[in-house]
Amino acid sequence: MTIATKAQSDASGGSLWFAAMPFVFVVLWSTGFIGAKFGLPYAGPLTFLTLRLTIVAVVMLAVALASGAAWPKTWLGVAHIAVVGILLQGAYLGGVFYGIAHGISAGLAALIAGLQPVLTAALVGVALGERVVPRQWLGLILGLAGVVLVLWSKLVFDPNQLVGLATVTAGLFGITIGTLYQKRFCGGFDLRTATVIQNATAALVMLPLALAGEDLHIVWSASFVFALAYLCLVLSVASTILFLYLLRHGAASRIASYFYLVPPVTALMAYLFFDEMLGPVALVGIAVTAVGVALVNRG
C-alpha cells in the first residue's frame, strides 16, 4: 500500500466514524434511562448524582493528568466550562433524576426533555446566529410528533406532582441553555479537562442540595454498583464527550435534533430488557421521528 493509498484509507475510515458518531451517541445516551432505573431505588436522586459526578471528576482528572491534556489558560475559561457543567450535569440530570424519583413517569420526563430540539432551534438564531430553514422546522415538528406517539401510552401525570414537573422542566432549560453556551464559549477547550471541571463544579452544587434534602443513605447492592459504574463511564464520560465533540463540529440545532431519537431507542431497550409493550402507535412514532431527524440533518 502506498503512502497516498494509506492516507485515503485513513481519511475514509475517519469519515465513516464521524458519520456513525451521532448514532453511537443516541444509543449510549438512551441507556441512561435504563441505568437510572437500576440505580435510583438504592439512593436518593441527588445523593446518587453527587456520587456519580464526583467519581467522574476523579476518573477524568487521572486521565487528563496521565495524557498531558491542556487546561484552560485563564480563570474566565474555567468559569465558562463551570457554567456548562452546572447547566448540563447539574440542572439537567438533577432535574430529571429528582422528577422521576418524585413521581414523574419516565415517559413524561422523556417527552418534556424531547422539547429540547424545538427550544434550541427557537433560541439558536439569537444565541449563535444559526439559521433554521423551513425544511428543518418541519423535521423538528415531525420529530416531536413522533416522540409523542412513541410515549403516548406511557404519559401519566398527577396534579400532585407539580414539584417533579417543575424540576424536569428546569432540566429541559438547563440542557438547552447549556448546549448553546457550550457552542458559543467553550469550543476551544480540551474535552478531557473540560469534563473534569464540569463534573467537579456540578458535584459541588449538588452536594449541599443532597445534604439539605436527603440523608445521603445508599444501599450498596450489585445492581446499584453496576448502575453507578455504567452511568459514570458510559454516560458521563463516553457519551458526554461524544456529545460535546459533535456540538463542536456541527450546528447546534442539528445536534439537538438527535435527542428526538433518544425516547424511541429507550423504548426499544425497555422492550428488550424489561418486556415493556411497544404497540403499533409507538412503531409509527419511531418511523415519524426518524423522518423528522433526517429532514433536520439532510445535506
pLDDT tens digit sequence for 239-280: 888 888 888 887 777 788 888 888 888 778 777 776 667 788
Domain boundaries, given as residue ranges, for the chain? 42-297
| pLDDT, the chain, mean | 84
pLDDT over 70 for what percent of the chain?
91
Between 25 and 55, whose confidence is greater? 55
Sign of the dihedral through C-alpha 205, 217, 37, 147: negative
Mean of pLDDT values over 278-286: 82
Mean pLDDT is highest, among 76-90, 124-138, 230-244, 249-263, for 76-90
**Highest mean pLDDT pick, 72-86, 151-165, 236-250, 260-274:** 72-86
pLDDT (tens digit, 9 = 90+) per residue, 116-131? Answer: 888 888 888 767 778 8
Q: Are 154 and 105 in contact (CB under 8 A)?
A: yes
What does pTM read for this prediction? 0.83
Query: Cell triple for residue 267?
Result: 423504548
pLDDT 10s digits, 28-73? 888 876 777 778 889 999 999 999 999 999 999 999 999 999 999 9
Transcribe the chain into DSSP letters: --HHHHHHHHHHHHHHHHHHHHHHHHHHHHHHHHHHHHHGGGB-HHHHHHHHHHHHHHHHHHHHHHHTPPPPSSHHHHHHHHHHHIIIIIIIHHHHHHHHHTT--HHHHHHHHTTHHHHHHHHHHHHH-----HHHHHHHHHHHHHHHHHHGGG----GGGHHHHHHHHHHHHHHHHHHHHHHHH-TTS-HHHHHHHHHHHHHHHHHHHHHHH----B---HHHHHHHHHIIIIIIIIIHHHHHHHHHTS-HHHHHHGGGGHHHHHHHHHHHHH-----HHHHHHHHHHHHHHHHHH--
- Looking at residue 100, its pLDDT comes to 79
**pLDDT at position 200:** 97
- What's the rounded mean pLDDT across residues 202-223? 93
